[in-house]
Structure 1
């Protein structure tokens, strides 16, 4: 079978969808060497230009899938073409554009809230990252349950505890990281709950030697976060690193005494598992898919509750037994999620629709 995949999201500095696409494609080639996987992209970053994005998704992508003789097209992030040259599998990672439209820039808000209902209608089969996203598709868009398969994401094999002191020191120096740190890693955007994290850190900063490191690519509406840090007088204790290269992430997780992920909404929440895979204790919100992903291997707190988050941070950092238990359960939890299993389940869906 010749399977075409939309890999446009992997260009530039890939984040969530781009990393999903890269890891899935690599795993598919490992587990299914008898199939041919063709990468389709436009050779430029069109992600934030709506006019070009529409041209790519609705014209260029199906045209190229037809030109390469694809038996199936997998669109790995939200936008299915109306004209289908072959069966189309669409991965829907979340419904943030419909549930949290005010968290997006105006053009993106309009695009995601209006376009997604059409995309899910045009696709032959849908993949959801979690049971929670599947339920959202059924509840909000009226998708027939039998059209949606849940396929969990995996954890990259490179994400393991790092003990090499030279490697740790190099990453510490590269990102200007203090000796003791609490870490967040992910895109900076309103739904991630970083305002709650900063407010919680302000409550415990006097009781801890730790610095708060907020790592990841700037998304949108980040100005209020920087102002919040200045207003609280935390400029010397809160650090923004910017984008973190994939090869540095395992060391960064390993340097942290605690990983905090206070998101208001996630379709999956891969950073939670990545931190666990590196042996870092996790505190995360109990919003959306996060309890499904974290299981009993994290301390769960209500989203947008700075007091509860502050208390959880203190408890984990001051209780060595709890910290060790979280570390052990996290390592075990992360081992259950592999990209090979993601690829095998995805391949089974391909075979069902062709």
Structure 2
């Protein structure tokens, strides 16, 4: 079984988190792994999945155009030479003439359902590759039934060839934090008092300008911390520039993984006002850390949050009203925190890995 990890970004976000959590879980389930990665990631994967057969892509493949070209001419050849019976391509694209069964992960359908929240070039690229993978891969994987259903609706996917594998949460990393972990997160952020938290890429589909404007209308509001890498959403800066005096907005960028439990679990409330998600991993991680969560009822998020989170509309008036109500109701926040911990315990990476192994077996047998 070969897994292509060459698309993993240096910051380990997005597909990086998925691959880095999936591989050890696959190994724990007894999978015989060949991991194809960037040369600079060899040591990382040697530590992450000891005993896996590690193969490095050419150094030039660190550049995205070269990697995509090498994927077509070199990836499958390398997997076949390593003796793999199935190749898993975990980020939309795949070799067109692979010579062995391919399973491809399609993370969300928002390139079709919410095209306005993606750059035009990215939208065209991922729409094209989603359709190609749906047509040519032996099996496709999605992280939620909502994403699978949307792909059936908008991209003509055959539901019999699309498998759902819910993502998981690592309880060693995402847990109710200790006082020391909360203090470490606060020290890193330079915050003394209460705060409202967001975790994720600062991009248009996260709907952060609406959150900033909603929070700005609340008197005596706690600090607002938007943690994550900067996307292409210029409206975030415009909304930030209009924050009134007396309100404190923090944009700390990426937070180290070891600070995330303290950051999420130390918040009065975690708000995730997304316009569309294939899964919504930060919602699950916040729940696991014992944080009450306010989010939206769009696409996959209710499949993950169920009744253990509070919901709002996507407009700033709705966000402001729900945010104010929850901040004024500590008993409701405590109830959500307890429910979230219980629900999050049902999502684990071993279960995710088992769904992947079933898809690999079906691809090999097809």
Query: TM-score range, shorter-chain basis?
Result: over 0.9
**Is 1:343 paired with 2:353?**
yes
Query: CA shift at 1:241, angstroms?
Result: 0.8
Query: CA-to-partner distance for each residue in 1:164-198, whole Å, 9 max, x for gaps?
Result: 32x33222222323421000000110011101111
Aligned to 1:62: 76
1:318/1:186 CA distance change after superposition, 3 Å: same
Could you tell me the TM-score, scaled by structure 2's length? 0.89
Unmatched segments (≥5 aa) in structure 1: none
Query: CA shift at 1:18, angstroms?
Result: 1.0
Query: CA-to-partner distance for each residue in 1:229-270, whole Å, 9 max, x for gaps?
Result: 112336951110101121211111122110000000000001
**Is 1:239 paired with 2:235?**
no
Query: CA shift at 1:105, angstroms?
Result: 2.9
**Is the CA contact 2:166–2:347 (under 8 Å) kept in the aligned structure 1?**
yes
Aligned to 2:11: 13
Separation in 1, partners of 2:354, 2:200: 27
- How many residues align structurally? 345
**Is the CA contact 2:216–2:247 (under 8 Å) kept in the aligned structure 1?**
no
**Is 1:291 paired with 2:291?**
no
Aligned to 1:188: 202
Separation in 1, partners of 2:355, 2:116: 34
Aligned to 2:33: 37
RMSD of aligned alpha carbons: 2.0
Query: CA shift at 1:28, angstroms?
Result: 0.8
1:4/1:235 CA distance change after superposition, 3 Å: farther
Unmatched segments (≥5 aa) in structure 2: 41-58
Aligned to 2:185: 171
Aligned to 1:218: 230
1:321/1:47 CA distance change after superposition, 3 Å: farther
**Is 1:93 paired with 2:107?**
yes
Range 259-268 or range 3-12, more displaced = 3-12
SS at match of 2:175: coil
User: Which of 79, 84, 104 is the aligned partner of 2:118?
Assistant: 104
Could you tell me the TM-score, scaled by structure 1's length? 0.92
Aligned to 1:317: 327
